[in-house]
Each structure stands twice: as structure tokens, then as C-alpha cells.
């Protein structure tokens, strides 16, 4: 008896997860020391070699300031690179100890727009998280629809029917991934694992369901006969609008009802649809408000102690993700202090050399692991498991004991209608008034990056977090597939992080004395993305090639990432910086833009629509393409003119300019490829290519007309034509922007027209001119005018000029 007890105690002492330090750190520390020495030498050089006033002193000091900023940011970045950790779990030990007493898990999925986030995409994510390798009766899935769309509700109802066949199929053959859209797109890999007849049946059922959903989405309405199949459709009446409607809570599958079973007579997970009340006079706090509403609704339906939230495009790619996360929470030695477990956000619609730099390999292999080593990784808003109690504001205490059995007990005498009515009262517009929701309770309000600040608040309450990056990705999603979407997403991220940095929640202020200094510095890495735009505009630097290659990126993929980092630094992050400052001084209000998530044939349809609407909605594409093309034409044209002897410029003057122009051309090679060579969805629309070519031609025609050729050679050679062409292109692009972004009447239109008129006057009234240098030939004058007395040099010059 004592032997058995001792063996049990020994088994419980075996950890459910282990922590391993990443290798190669000694080499990195040596490299970091050399970089630090180089930085100090550069700063010393700048400080001791300041030019005298008027000799480029301002430019020198600007470079010194930029280098000092990058030096400070580099030091901040070292806080997460010095000693990164890697976590590894033991699911077999978890099963041995807790298989019969596993806690319940509530899964939150948020969507906001059936056009940007198609319902067929959303339900694939829903079905994937319903099919976890976990007791179904302990899973509850909640869909928050901030779009309040009957189309999304209809899609979820279709998914509840299809789940009765899909879940048994997944568990019978242990398939991966368990998103039907992803699984059947990889059919060549998985077909041989299943009975062909059954596989074909499930595939046909899924495709028929998806066709019905897509047809309804395209038409904007669902068949009338479908509305009779569930009482929830009655919620959408003639007075229902996107921004003005009553709250809706509908339980489509009640997992605690013994009749809610699949085709194998196994219990189905609970499935709930939630649409918060929306009224024009009330602010709804975007995604943070949706998550807080789900916390309250789930507390009266399932009340599970663990909550997972995922974006609607991040389907489950690993059916054991719940068990991996529970290895952290349920570990007897170290699990008590872990408040949340974060998985990486990985995308499956990228090529190996992603042209838009959407790979976060370095962040997940180095930075997040480094944050994990100093107290906790960031909460990134998706793919994260939380304790319910920490989202409700609980402060860490060594004496606190989690009740892992909460929510599992059988429901009382309340029927499903009473529960829906009770839950509906928790998602009204006025419920949170004069409460701590959005402040001390739930996800934080008032910031675009609600996830980052919520994670910071959890860490400051004494909890730690864990980051796990398993070999098989836990979640896969969709990266922005166009440049405009990419810039929009990073603009929103950088703006939100900078807003936090400039607020009272700055990690150095809010976290002082509560979290380690290294973790405070780690939060500032993303907090200063937007601020980096200013020195980046002044001084360009490259970094991270070694880490990128070590993390799995290719050389070309790293190069594309650096190129996109430059683009985002002077667009997304700069816009985020400006918007944040405007909000800080009260010039604008916070807004939230949903990043479009479309896959498969939906992406092609959306792409065609973007092309049709392109000319009036995306001048940024035209500007980028024009600048890229202008540099190419300048380089080729300049070289040909020099070779032909038309432009009289020494090579030692022309060469530095040509090298700079050539570097810009090389960086923009993917843009030229997208303009002239690519045939897929990554191709820049023909309308944009033609518009950019037109602007370049106009720029050079304007320059040629104003400059002329001249016999005696230009002062400055190709420098002035290059500059003149870029100025002309810039003026044309400004006028194009003014013409295509005319405000509506009463929204500053008069001021806009006045500015446009002034800019037209400046363009017409100040032509580009090119100075010339005159040189005389007095010997020729003497030969031709023998009767003239040779005057002095000044007289000869006067005669030559006036002859």
C-alpha cells in the first residue's frame, strides 16, 4: 500500500511540461558584444566629429540622433534575445493523471463582417474547434457576430447539422487538420487514410453545404423555407440593422442535453450564437467588447474554467492543442502561477519567399521565447488559452486554488429558453455602465491593441504566461493577401501599441515594481514600432539576417521581409504614429478597421472586384508603382545618355547617384515583377501599371519641355533632370490624389478645393528650370573677325554673347 502511494506521489512530481534554453546563445552573446562595441564607436565618432555650423552640421546631428535612437531600441530588443526558452509538453502524463477529470473549455470565435469574413470561412473554423481530441461534452463553442448578420447565423445553423457527420468522421480516422475546408483542399494527402466511399460522401455533404452558404451570401438573403427550421431566424425583422438591433443569444446545440448527439451517438459540443445589442448612441468597444460579452454569456451557459479565443480565420490545425495547454495549467509544481498559454499566429496562405513579409518566424522562434524566459510572452489576441478567473480580474495568490470542475455539473431545472433569456440580458448596451468591465474586469477598453494591454495587466497582477510552438502548428490562418491589406493591418497594430506606450499603461510606468525590467523592455519592442518610422525615414538599417535564416526563412524571403519592413515603416507605422498623436491631442476618435480575410475562390472574386474599384480607392498603389518605375527609367535613361555622350557629366559625379538609383531599383524588383511578369493574384492591376506609366511619361515630358538640351552642357549633369523628373511626378501624384479624394459637401470641401487650386498654380507657375554654364572661344572670334581689335576678355565675351 505504501509502495503504491509512493509511486503515485513520484508520478505526480514528474512535470507535465519542461523548459529548455535555446542553443547557440553563447555565439549570439559574443556577436551582441561586438555590435554593442560598434554602436559605441559610431556614437563616439558622431560626438567627436561634429562639423562646424553651415558645413552639413544639421544633417550630421540628424544622423547622430537616428543612430542614437536605433542604439536605444537595439538595447531594448536584447532583453528578449539573451536567454530564450522553448517549452515541451507531456500529454501522456496528463492523460494518466487527469483523463477522467479534465476541465471544461469555452472557445470564443469572433467575426464582424460577412463580406470581409465570409460565413463559409467562419464555419470551417467553428467545425475545427468543435472536433478537438477532447471530451465533446466539455467543449462549448461561442460565435460572436458583431455584424449581426442573418447570413452568419444561417451558416452556423448549417454547421450544427453538418457537425453530426463531421465530428465522428474526424475522430474515427484521427484526421488532421479538422477544418473541412483545409482538409479537403489537401485531399491527395488524406484520401488513402479513409474509406473512399465515406470520404466522398462527407466531401459532397460539405461542398453542398458550402454552396448553399455562398449562394445565400452572394444574394444577401436566405431561402424562406430555411427560416422555418429554427426559431432564431425570427430575430431578424424589418427594423433590424447592422448598427441598431436588439441582443441575440441562440443555443443551436445544447451539449448538456442527452438528445444532442452525432451519428455515432456521441455527445456534441455546445454551440452558441451571440450578437450584442447595437444602438447608435452607444459605443460597442470593438473586439474587446465582443470578448467581454462572451465571457458573461458563457458564465451562465457553460462556465468553464479555461477559455480559448481564436480569430474567425484561424482554424485549428492540431487536435491536441487543448491538452498541450492544460499541461501548463495542471502542472502540480509550476502550473499555479500560469495565467494564460499563447500559441503563435501562423499563416498558411504564404509562399516560402513571402513577398509581403508576413512571416513571423523570428518573432516566434526568438522574441516570444525570450519574453517567456523573463516572466511571460505577450497576449496576441488569438490562439490563447486563459484561466477564466484572470479575465475576471483575479490577482495572483499562492493560496488560490482553481476549481477545475466548475461548469461540468448537470444543469438545474432551467430550460434552454430561460437560459437564453438570462444570457441575452448580459449583452445589452447598458449592462456595462458604471461597472469595471473593460477596466479591471475582462479585456481592456480604449486601445486598438486590446490584446497587448490586457496581457500586460494580467502580468502586472502577478500572473505569468507560457508560449508554446509545437512542431505541428496549433492554428493556421490567412495573412493579408494584398499590399493595401498588409499596410492597413500593420498600421492598426503600430497605432495601438504606440497608444499604449504613450499612455499611463506604458510598461515602464504601469509595470514598474510589478514585472521584471526585461519584460517591461520586451513590451516596448512592439510599442515603439510606429516611433521607429521617424529615424527610419532618415537612416536605413538592415538587421536579423542570421536569425531569419536560423528560424527557417530563405534569403529571398528575408529580403522580401526587409523590403516590406521598410514599406511599413514609412506607411503603416508612420500613419499609426500620426493617428496616435492626433488622438492624444483630441483631433480624432479611435476607430477599428477589419482586415479582410478571404480564401480560395472567394479571394479571386474579391480580387476582381478590387481591380474594378481600384482607380478611385487606392492611389497608394499608383504612387508606389510610379516611384519604382521612375527610378528604373532614370537609371536606364541616365546610363544611356552618358554612354552616348549627350550628358556631359564626369563618371565620378554620376556613379554615386547611379548606385543609389540602382539600389532603389533592385529593392523594387518584386514590384516590377508584379507589374509586368506575374499572372496570379499577386499581379498589380493593369490599370495601376498604365497609370504609373502615364505619370512617368508626363513627368519626363514636363521636364524635357522645361529643361531643353543646350549645346554647352548642363550644370550638375543628370542630377537636375533626375530631381526635376521626381518633382514633376510628385506634383502630378499630388494633383491625382486631390482629384480622387474630393470630400463630400460640407466636410471641408471648400478648403480642399482651395488647396487644390493653389497646388495647380504652383505647378503651372513654377516650371522646372535647368541652369546652364556658358563658355566662350576667343580664338575663334579672332579668326573670323580679323578687322576687329582684340579686346580684353570681358569685351570678347560681350561680343560673342550679343553677336
Determine the Cα–Cα distance for residues 560 and 578; give it in Å rounded to an integer. Answer: 26
Determine the Cα–Cα distance for residues 235 and 788; give it in Å rounded to an integer. Answer: 105
451 is catalytic: yes
Contact in structure between 17 and 89 (CB atoms under 8 Å) = yes
CB atoms within 10 A of CB 643: 9
CB atoms within 10 A of CB 692: 25
Pick from 480, 477, 502, 498: nearest CA to 489: 480
State residue 415 phi and psi, 5-degree precision: -90, 175
Q: Residue 315 is inside which H or E element, if any?
A: strand 315-316
Within 13 Å, how many C-alpha atoms sit on residue 629's CB side?
A: 25
Determine the Cα–Cα distance for residues 596 and 211; give it in Å rounded to an integer. Answer: 21
Beta strands at 17-21 and 85-89: parallel, antiparallel or unpaired: antiparallel
**SS3 at position 144:** strand
Determine the Cα–Cα distance for residues 419 and 257; give it in Å rounded to an integer. Answer: 13
Give Cα 99 distance to the centre of its chain: 38
State yes or no: 311 annotated in a binding site: yes
Contact in structure between 338 and 464 (CB atoms under 8 Å) = yes
- DSSP state string for 214-268: HHHHHHTS--GGGGGG-GGGGG--TT-BTTBB--EEEEEE-TTSTT-B-TTSPBP
324, 451, 553, 579: the active-site residue: 451
Which residues contact residue 613 at a Cβ distance below 8 angstroms, ignoring those fewer than 6 apart? none
Determine the Cα–Cα distance for residues 143 and 290; give it in Å rounded to an integer. Answer: 10
State yes or no: 146 annotated in a binding site: yes
Determine the Cα–Cα distance for residues 179 and 600; give it in Å rounded to an integer. Answer: 14
Contact in structure between 149 and 228 (CB atoms under 8 Å) = no
State yes or no: 320 annotated in a binding site: no
Which residues contact residue 513 at a Cβ distance below 8 angstroms, ignoring those fewer than 6 apart? none
Within 13 Å, how many C-alpha atoms sit on residue 798's CB side?
A: 6
Pick from 268, 338, 9, 323: nearest CA to 126: 268
Contact in structure between 275 and 148 (CB atoms under 8 Å) = yes
Contact in structure between 673 and 689 (CB atoms under 8 Å) = no
State residue 251 phi and psi, 5-degree precision: -90, 105
State yes or no: 679 annotated in a binding site: no
146, 262, 313, 331: the active-site residue: 146
146 is catalytic: yes
Pick from 493, 487, 491: nearest CA to 449: 493
Q: Which residue ranges are tagged as binding site? A: 117, 146, 287, 311
Q: Which residue ranges are tagged as binding site for UDP-alpha-D-glucose? A: 117, 146
Q: Which residue ranges are tagged as binding site for Mn(2+)? A: 287, 311
Catalytic residues: 146, 451
Amino acid at each position: 500500500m505504501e509502495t503504491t502511494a509512493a509511486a503515485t506521489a513520484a508520478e505526480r512530481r514528474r512535470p507535465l511540461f519542461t523548459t529548455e534554453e535555446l542553443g547557440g546563445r553563447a555565439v549570439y552573446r559574443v556577436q551582441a558584444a561586438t555590435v554593442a562595441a560598434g554602436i559605441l564607436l559610431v556614437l563616439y565618432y558622431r560626438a567627436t566629429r561634429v562639423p562646424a555650423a553651415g558645413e552639413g552640421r544639421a544633417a550630421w546631428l540628424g544622423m547622430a540622433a537616428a543612430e542614437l535612437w536605433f542604439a536605444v531600441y537595439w538595447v531594448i530588443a536584447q532583453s528578449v534575445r539573451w536567454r530564450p526558452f522553448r517549452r515541451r509538453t507531456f500529454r501522456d502524463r496528463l492523460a494518466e493523471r487527469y483523463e477522467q477529470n479534465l476541465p471544461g473549455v469555452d472557445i470564443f470565435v469572433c467575426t464582424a463582417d460577412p463580406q470581409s469574413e465570409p460565413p463559409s470561412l467562419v464555419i470551417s473554423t467553428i467545425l475545427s474547434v468543435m472536433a478537438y481530441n477532447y471530451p465533446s461534452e466539455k467543449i462549448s463553442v461561442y460565435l460572436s457576430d458583431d455584424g449581426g448578420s442573418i447570413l452568419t447565423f444561417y451558416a452556423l445553423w448549417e454547421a450544427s447539422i453538418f457537425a453530426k457527420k463531421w465530428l465522428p468522421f474526424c475522430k474515427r480516422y484521427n484526421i488532421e487538420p479538422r477544418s473541412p475546408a483545409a482538409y479537403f483542399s489537401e485531399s491527395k494527402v488524406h484520401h488513402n487514410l479513409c474509406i473512399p466511399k465515406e470520404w466522398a460522401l462527407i466531401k459532397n455533404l460539405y461542398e453542398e453545404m458550402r454552396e448553399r452558404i455562398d449562394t445565400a451570401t452572394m444574394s444577401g438573403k436566405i431561402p424562406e423555407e430555411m427560416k422555418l427550421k429554427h426559431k432564431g431566424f425570427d430575430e431578424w425583422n424589418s427594423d433590424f440593422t447592422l448598427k441598431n438591433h436588439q441582443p441575440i443569444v441562440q443555443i443551436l446545440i445544447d451539449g448538456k442535453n442527452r438528445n444532442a448527439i452525432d451519428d455515432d451517438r456521441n455527445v456534441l459540443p455546445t454551440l452558441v450564437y451571440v450578437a450584442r445589442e447595437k444602438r447608435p448612441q452607444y459605443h460597442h468597444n470593438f473586439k474587446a467588447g465582443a470578448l467581454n460579452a462572451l465571457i458573461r454569456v458563457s458564465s451562465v451557459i457553460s462556465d468553464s474554467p479555461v477559455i480559448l479565443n481564436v480569430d474567425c480565420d484561424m482554424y485549428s490545425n492540431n487536435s491536441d492543442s487543448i491538452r498541450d495547454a492544460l499541461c501548463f495549467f495542471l502542472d502540480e509544481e509550476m502550473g499555479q502561477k500560469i495565467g494564460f498559454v499563447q500559441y503563435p499566429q501562423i499563416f498558411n496562405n504564404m509562399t516560402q519567399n513571402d513577398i509581403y513579409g508576413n512571416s513571423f518566424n523570428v518573432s516566434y522562434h526568438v522574441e516570444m521565447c525570450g519574453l517567456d524566459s523573463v516572466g511571460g510572452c505577450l497576449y496576441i489576441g488569438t490562439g490563447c488559452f486563459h484561466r477564466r478567473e484572470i479575465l475576471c480580474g483575479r490577482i495572483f495568490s499562492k493560496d488560490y486554488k482553481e476549481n477545475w470542475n466548475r461548469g461540468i455539473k448537470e444543469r438545474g431545472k432551467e430550460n434552454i429558453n430561460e437560459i437564453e433569456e438570462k444570457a441575452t440580458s448580459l449583452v445589452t448596451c447598458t449592462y456595462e455602465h458604471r461597472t469595471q468591465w473593460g477596466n479591471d474586469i475582462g479585456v481592456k477598453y480604449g486601445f486598438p491593441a486590446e490584446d497587448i494591454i490586457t496581457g500586460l495587466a494580467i502580468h502586472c497582477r502577478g500572473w505569468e504566461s507560457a508560449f508554446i510552438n509545437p512542431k505541428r502548428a496549433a492554428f493556421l490562418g490567412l495573412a493579408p493577401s494584398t499590399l493595401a491589406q498588409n499596410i492597413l493591418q500593420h498600421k492598426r497594430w503600430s497605432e495601438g501599441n504606440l497608444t499604449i506606450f504613450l499612455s499611463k499603461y506604458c510598461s515602464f510606468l504601469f509595470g514598474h515594481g510589478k514585472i521584471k525590467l526585461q519584460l517591461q523592455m520586451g513590451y516596448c519592442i512592439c510599442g515603439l514600432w510606429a516611433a521607429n518610422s521617424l529615424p527610419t525615414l532618415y537612416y536605413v538599417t538592415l538587421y536579423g539576417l542570421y536569425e531569419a535564416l536560423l528560424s527557417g526563412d530563405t534569403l529571398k524571403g528575408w529580403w522580401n521581409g526587409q523590403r516590406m519592413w521598410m514599406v511599413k515603416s514609412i506607411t503603416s507605422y508612420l500613419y499609426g504614429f500620426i493617428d496616435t498623436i492626433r488622438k492624444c491631442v483630441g483631433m480624432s476618435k479611435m476607430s477599428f478597421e477589419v482586415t479582410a480575410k478571404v480564401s480560395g475562390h472567394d479571394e479571386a472574386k474579391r480580387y476582381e472586384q478590387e481591380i474594378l474599384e481600384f482607380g478611385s480607392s487606392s492611389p497608394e498603389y499608383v504612387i508606389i508603382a510610379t516611384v519604382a518605375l521612375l527610378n528604373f527609367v532614370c537609371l536606364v535613361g541616365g546610363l544611356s545618355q552618358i554612354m552616348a555622350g549627350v550628358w556631359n557629366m564626369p563618371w565620378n559625379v554620376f556613379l554615386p547617384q547611379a548606385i543609389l538609383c540602382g539600389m532603389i531599383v533592385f529593392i523594387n524588383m518584386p514590384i516590377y515583377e508584379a507589374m509586368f511578369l506575374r499572372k496570379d493574384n499577386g499581379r498589380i492591376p493593369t490599370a495601376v501599371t498604365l497609370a504609373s506609366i502615364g505619370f512617368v511619361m508626363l513627368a519626363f515630358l514636363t521636364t524635357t519641355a522645361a529643361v531643353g538640351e543646350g549645346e554647352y552642357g548642363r550644370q550638375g549633369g543628370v542630377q537636375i533632370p533626375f530631381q526635376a523628373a521626381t518633382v514633376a511626378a510628385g506634383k502630378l501624384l499630388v494633383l491625382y490624389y486631390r482629384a480622387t479624394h474630393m470630400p463630400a459637401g460640407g466636410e471641408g470641401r471648400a478648403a480642399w478645393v482651395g488647396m487644390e487650386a493653389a497646388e495647380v498654380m504652383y505647378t503651372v507657375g513654377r516650371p522646372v528650370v535647368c541652369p546652364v554654364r556658358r563658355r566662350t572661344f576667343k580664338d575663334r572670334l579672332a579668326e573670323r573677325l580679323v578687322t576687329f581689335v582684340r579686346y580684353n576678355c570681358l569685351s570678347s565675351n560681350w561680343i560673342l554673347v550679343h553677336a
